[in-house]
Amino acid sequence: MLPQSQLDTVESLKIFKGNKFLADFTAKDIRKKEELSKLTGLVPCWSPSQPELLKMELIDKSGKVKTTLKSGLRIIESIEERIYLNGRRFYVRGCIRGIKAHEHDNLLKLNDSDFYKKYILAAKELGFNLVRWHSTIPSEIFLDLSDELGMLNQIEFAPQYTFKNGKKEFTLDLKLIEKTVKTLGWHPSVFAFCLGNEIHNSGEIDIVKEAVKIIRENSPCSLLLDSCGWGEADRTTTDFLSQHIAYFFPFGNHIEMFNNRDCFDLNGSIKKVEMNGEEKQGSATLKFRRNLHPVKPTLAHEALHYTSLPDLKSLRRKMKTASCGIPWWMDVVEKIAKEKGLWPNWENYRKASEHFKKICLKEALERLRLSPWLEGYQMLQLADANYYENQNGIIDCFDDVKEVFRPVFKALNGDFAILADFRKKCFTSGSPFDVKVYSSNYSEADYLDFKLKVFRKEDKRVMMKKDFKNVFVAKQGLNEIMNLQLTLNDKRASQYVMEISAYRNNKIFSSNNWDLWIFPEVNHEKIIDFINTSPKVTGKIDNGIIEKLKKGASYLYIFDPSVKLEKSGLPLVKDRFKPVIWDRGHQMGGILRKHHINDKFPNSGLLDFQFYNLVESGAKITIDNLPGVSPIIEGIDKAARDRMDSLIFGKGEFQPQYTMRKFAYLFEMKVGKGKILFCSFTLNKDNIRKNPEVAYFAEKLIEYFNSKSFKPGFTLNPDDFAKWSSASKKDVNIEPVMNVYWEEDLFPVETTLWWEKAGVDITKLKH
């Protein structure tokens, strides 16, 4: 890999490892992949795992050594749906930095080399093998370090956008593209050149085709990406695709999101054909939908973009030591937390939010690697920015690894990973369930010894152990290696762990584990009958309920989706069991406190997947105006602004009315002589019949409600309760734009049509 400018003026070159001569060939041949491939048996190849740099002597026409430099030989190929590096399958595990939104300052004031080195080493430690430079050209210092340490780079140009007559247009700086490719394309760490971020319909644009020609001519040994995100599935202007696919959460309704190819409906085909529709001819009706199957490798664009609450105490300590100043947003977040009474428990909220982010990262990363057709992903983003409050990273803005996330990436982000396809997390005691086990192998492993163990988490009691000798895993990519059927019998509801470890030469090679929950069978119909027929159960709060509470009645409120939020008499917020994606959404996990109900339901004190079907499509109750209430199960809101508030609606400050709200899923209070238990989980009949954890929770909820133990500690007089209920109308349907998109859960990314529906004029966005 040599600079194009050097190749134009030399006749041949010689390759050495140290002082040992390895090979020589003409400058003309180094431009050809087929000629380079002949050298792979003679010359050690460069790769992220073995960044072999060689000495190269450039010989001019007179036979003299013109210059000597260090570089590496590597061959990257895009063949049909697969990516190959040096003749072997390659899985892209990318992270993103570049533009200011995805960058952080050099807070420790290191020299550039040490600053970049710390980042690269942290990325490699967590299993990443590529940096995507979002709309940015990296420095030579970063590329030199990448060559040395083993980190691939996707270099990305930044188109200039304009809006004319409501139409979005852009241009590319072709001279800059040519200069950059000639100057940087020789680095073995350059994986690809990309023309820009999210260029719609890139396969049809003339200037894109011109830029493609320039890159292909001047950097034939690197790959080309015409648009990172969006673009037609069948376009010929790119070597691989990076597709919007990751803004759903890959569980439940969207568990197939990395298996199907629905994401290609966004820009369709370069042939401009109708992708789906309905045809009526006479009395006949036809509904149709085309399915697109790209013949290029595909990466998941901007995946794993999940956030948690900031570790304000740790950041303040580090920033004080570094004398780098405190970002403005930290003071604001702390101020709002204190005003809402959240600050005394901030560390618990932060840890709960990190736990939720961790379990969601694990689920999503495992689903990515279970995809039979994806060739990798690019994570937005590895490191937190210090400029704003969204904690997107798995390392902080000092490039220190957040230890809570390390186990996820150790298990799933290497060249080899053990995967299990758990489509449910909760099972009925005594009922067998099937699990398929896969290897995702991009290593040189061939035979591995597997050890399986299943144990109850509470007391570590081992329920099953099994060794599997000489499991054949040599085939590259994703392969099903084992089918398991497991039956667990437990008279009580319990959490279990299934663990599988792979050994090579008696040393652990890879390991993964999965949490699952076992529940006793309960009487579904009895539960459903009580919820549907008991006069003590209500789906809304009105004057009649308040009057009866005043006189001593007891009520169980259960969320009823058929009741409009503004008619419910409660400050309800629609809910999902999926993480906040940058600024989209308001789900950051939850905390379970000591209580009769929680004591019967297996938990670690934190919201986990045993609550998936209880939370999904349910609601949360905002209790900001009930400061004395300590929820039995509390939900956590994000501490971040909605970007559209600032970009479109001129609201750049934090909006406390829908930021860092105190949420409750389950709480209780006395009202007058009466008492009421609130539950906003999804407890409809289908959910109860289908999911054992939902039925079991509902049973324990009803048992507690009907027991003498139902003695709420918080009291509100009827007038104040009525005022709180009446005021709730102003606290519903107030979500900002990005939260609405998250709640609807309909599209893999916001489309132009969706923006119009949401009342956002995207021509006003700044680029």
pLDDT of residue 215: 96
Which one, of 698, 251, 697, lies nearest residue 514 by Cα?
Answer: 251
The encoded tokens of residue 221 equal: 């040994």
Mean pLDDT of 608-635: 97
What are the structure tokens assigned to 114, written together?
């040490």
696-703 contacts: CB < 8 A, separation 24 or more? 696/493, 696/519, 696/520, 696/522, 696/601, 697/597, 697/601, 697/614, 698/527, 698/531, 699/522, 699/523, 699/527, 700/597, 700/600, 700/601, 701/556, 701/597, 701/666, 701/677, 702/527, 702/530, 702/531, 702/556
Contact 424, 432 (CB under 8 A): no
Q: Which of 22, 21, 28 is nearest to 61 (CA)?
A: 28
pLDDT tens, 637-686? 999 999 888 888 889 999 999 999 999 999 999 999 999 999 999 999 99
- Give CA–CA dist 606/589, Å, rounded: 7
pLDDT recorded at residue 8: 65
Strand blocks (E) in 18-91? 20-26, 54-59, 65-71, 76-79, 82-85, 88-89
- Pairing status of strand 130-134 against strand 477-486: unpaired
Pair 590, 634: CB distance under 8 Å: yes
Tokens of 490: 């437990």
pLDDT at 167 over 80: no
pLDDT at 419 over 90: yes
Alpha-carbon distance 291 to 268, whole Å? 9
In the predicted structure, residue 316 carries a pLDDT above the cut 80: yes
Name 381's Cβ contacts closer than 8 Å, sequence gap at least 6. Answer: 95, 96, 97, 102, 305, 392, 393
pLDDT of 256 > 90? The answer is yes
Report whether 422 contacts 354 (CB < 8 A): no
Convert the pLDDT of each residue in 287-315 to its tens digit.
999 988 899 999 999 999 999 999 999 99
Quick one: pLDDT at residue 762? Answer: 67
Question: Which residues have C-beta within 8 Å of that of residue 248, sequence separation ≥ 6?
Answer: 254, 257, 578, 745, 748
Q: What is the pLDDT of residue 60?
A: 84
Whether the Cβ atoms of residue 327 and residue 316 lie closer than 8 Å to each other: no
Answer whether residue 543 shows pLDDT above 90.
yes
- Tell me if 264 sits within 8 A of 294, measured CB to CB: yes
Are 1-74 and 93-266+292-309+355-414 the same fold in CATH? no
Q: Report yes or no: 90 and 84 within 8 Å, Cβ to Cβ.
A: yes
Length of the chain: 767
Across all residues in the chain, what is the average pLDDT?
Answer: 93
The stretch 241-255 carries a mean pLDDT of: 91
Structure tokens at 504: 């090579």
Which residue type occupies 573? V
Q: Measured between alpha carbons, how far is 378 from 300 in angstroms, rounded to an integer?
A: 6
pTM greater than 0.85 (yes/no) = yes
Question: Taking a C-beta distance cutoff of 8 angstroms, is the pair 616, 662 a contact?
Answer: no
Q: Strand, helix or coil at 470?
A: strand
- Burial bucket for residue 378 (CB in 10 Å: 0-12, 13-18, 19+): buried
Q: Note the pLDDT tens digit of each residue in 53-105.
A: 998 888 888 888 888 888 898 999 999 999 999 999 999 999 999 999 999 99
Residue 767 has pLDDT above 50, yes or no: no
For residue 280 the two structure tokens come to: 């009526």
Residue spans of the domains in the chain: they are 1-74, 93-266+292-309+355-414, 416-519, 524-762
Is residue 764's pLDDT more than 70? no
Euclidean distance between the first and the last CA atom of the chain, given in angstroms as a whole number: 35
Confidence of residue 765 (pLDDT cuts 50, 70, 90): low
- Cβ 620 vs Cβ 588: under 8 Å: no
The answer to whether the beta carbons of residues 168 and 453 sit under 8 Å apart is: no
Q: pLDDT above 90 covers what percent of the chain?
A: 81
CA distances from 401 to 118, 122, 244, 393, 707 (A): 11, 7, 27, 9, 48
What average pLDDT score do residues 227-249 get? Answer: 91
Closest CA to 583 of 637, 640, 636: 640
Residue 766: what pLDDT? 52
**pLDDT higher than 70, residue 194:** yes
CATH fold of 416-519 reads: Immunoglobulin-like (2.60.40)
Q: What is the C-alpha to C-alpha distance for residues 396 and 313, in angstroms, rounded to an integer?
A: 13
* Tokens 């309704």 sit on residue: 253
Three-state secondary-structure class, residue 122: helix
Q: Which two tokens stand for residue 389?
A: 């409050």
The vertex-21 CA angle with 15 and 23, nearest 5°, equals 50
Q: For the domain 93-266+292-309+355-414, what is the CATH superfamily, name and number?
A: Glycosidases (3.20.20.80)
Average pLDDT of span 616-624: 97
Architecture field, domain 1-74: Sandwich (2.60)
